[in-house]
Amino acid sequence: MFRSRPLVGFSLLVVAAPALLTVAAEGRTLSVPQDLSTLSAAVRASAPGDTILLAPGRYGPSSGEEFPIEFAAADVRVLGAGADQTLLDGEGRAAILVFTDGDASHVRDLRLHRGFAPEGGGCVRVREASPVLAGLAVTEGDGRGNGDAVRVEGGAPEFRNCLLTGGREGPTVAIEAGEPEFTNLTVARNCGPAFELTGRCRPTLRSTVVAEPGEPFGRAVGLEVAAGTARPILVDVHWDCRQESIRFVEPMTREQEHLVARARRANGLTATIPGFVDTAAGDFRLVAPSRLANADGVVPGAFGGEIPLNFAPDVTPSASREPANVESSLLEPTVPNPVTLSTSVRFHLAKGSVVDLAVYNVLGQRVRTLFAGDLSAGDHTREWDGRDELGEELPQGMYFVRITQGAVTESQRVVLLR
């Protein structure tokens, strides 16, 4: 099944000329807006196993997107350039992503903003599907009391390393049925409860931080269980709620009592967290993250696989719709690309300053630092041999070369072949 295939393990066999599709062993690679102007068009044109690369920019109804974008057994990969660069904006008038018919797509590294759905699931709705959504920032959703950010009506979706904030009415996540899994989530400053369980469901919350629900108004409850058939599993969950971490609307069943006892043993009902630096300004860095690290050194609430978490809800990416790997003011085209043995990363500095140049994988993890320090103005080149910091060969797949100079950050896709 597509769901079991790793994100970074696919290999490219043929790389087409610019403006053509890239053919991969498990499917094509479609670039938006280079090959197709909108994500909705790319999903319709895709086949199971295809990869859709979404360039930095804002995508919404006013720019031609047809929301909601429906993934009905699409089984594709959608990769953005990062939640701070690629924005799907429902503009307060449309839902954004809907998954149905057993879909097992992977969607990652995007921001979903101002999604609206009066029936629930303002930004993400899952109906009998099992997609994987990772590295997402979901902000200012409105589900009219049925899931501002997410609504799950069946299936086994996975949410990893996501931030959910700014929900309009609450609950932030509504779960009616299914077995969704939430790992390393930060759910903070939303109206109403963070999670609400209303039917026969078995959600798992793992390594998650829930803070300040009910802000600025609404029930300040972390998890509201409204059905005796709900079976929440809580492992290493940290709560900061004005009212209750977990509230049962009906008297607990014997099985629910057992699950609450299990949650206490698994550190799933920790009453307080060290707090964030400044949630009002969108700074979700933990004041004392080391206090939350588990035995494996993992800090709950990691967003995009990185700590600290710092995302400002009122900061939106550029409206530019240019492809991600066109020539830019810093980075020049990497040659060769794809990479088999090594490649030259070339860049130009208009003025001398401190520069950070590194290679990242699709999880947003830094795998190799090519340069970090002061450089003079002019043209520069650094080589990358497809290895990590320890000199080990990295697996084939897609990587990103990222350069930062002051407040400017630019990225370029690089494909590694073995």
Q: Cis check for the bond before 33: say yes or no (omega within 30 of 0).
A: yes
Q: Are 236 and 265 a contacting pair, CB within 8 Å?
A: no
CA angle 341, 345, 349 (to 5 degrees): 170
What is 25-40 written as a DSSP string? TTEEEEEETTTSSSHH
Domain assignment present for residue 56? The answer is: no
Pair 367, 258 in one domain: no
pTM of the model: 0.71
Q: Cis check for the bond before 338: say yes or no (omega within 30 of 0).
A: yes
Using the 3D structure, point to which of 271, 291, 311 is the last residue of a domain: 291
Pair 282, 404 in one domain: no
Pair 276, 184 in one domain: yes
Pair 111, 217 in one domain: yes
Pair 150, 267 in one domain: yes
Closest CA to 171 of 130, 207, 225: 225
Pair 226, 361 in one domain: no
Domain assignment present for residue 278? The answer is: yes
Q: What is the pLDDT of residue 24?
A: 39
Separation between Cα atoms, residue 50 and residue 76, nearest integer Å: 5
> Residue 244 belongs to what domain range?
79-291
Using the 3D structure, point to which of 291, 310, 327 is the last residue of a domain: 291
What CATH code is carried by the domain that includes residue 382? 2.60.40.4070
Name the strand (E) or helix (H) holding 139.
strand 137-139
Burial class (CB in 10 A: 0-12, 13-18, 19+), 333: middle
Q: What is the pLDDT of residue 64?
A: 93
Q: Which two three-digit tokens encode residue 27?
A: 């499917």
Pair 143, 240 in one domain: yes
Domain assignment present for residue 86? The answer is: yes
Tokens 């995302």 sit at which residue? 311
Closest CA to 109 of 36, 7, 26, 254: 7
Rg for the chain, CA atoms, rounded:
21
Note the helical H segments in 245-379. Answer: 254-265
Q: Return the number of other C-beta atoms located less than 10 Å from residue 91's C-beta.
A: 17
Q: What is the pLDDT of residue 309?
A: 61
Pair 230, 352 in one domain: no
- For the chain, residues with pLDDT lower than 50 are 1-25, 308, 312-328
Domain assignment present for residue 193? The answer is: yes
Q: Which two three-digit tokens encode residue 172?
A: 């932030």
Using the 3D structure, point to which of 227, 257, 291 is the last residue of a domain: 291
What CATH code is carried by the domain that includes residue 105? 2.160.20
Distance between alpha carbon 89 and the CA centroid of its chain, in Å?
Answer: 15
Domain assignment present for residue 133? The answer is: yes
Pair 266, 364 in one domain: no
Pair 279, 359 in one domain: no
Question: Per-residue pLDDT tens for 77-130?
Answer: 999 888 888 999 999 999 999 999 999 999 998 999 999 999 999 999 999 999
**Number of separate helices (H) and strands (E) present in the chain:** 2, 33
Q: Are 73 and 59 a contacting pair, CB within 8 Å?
A: no
Q: Are 84 and 111 a contacting pair, CB within 8 Å?
A: yes
Question: Per-residue pLDDT tens for 242-300?
Answer: 899 999 999 999 999 999 999 999 999 988 888 888 777 777 888 888 888 877 777 88
Domain assignment present for residue 112? The answer is: yes
For the chain, the domain total comes to: 2
Q: Phi/psi of residue 132, each to 5°? A: -115, 125
Domain assignment present for residue 356? The answer is: yes
Q: What is the pLDDT of residue 131?
A: 97
Domain assignment present for residue 202? The answer is: yes
Pair 261, 144 in one domain: yes
Pair 362, 218 in one domain: no
Collapsing DSSP states into helix, strand and coil, what is residue 106? strand
What is 236-281 written as a DSSP string? EEEEE-SSEEEEESSPPPHHHHHHHHHHHHTTTTB-----EEEGGG
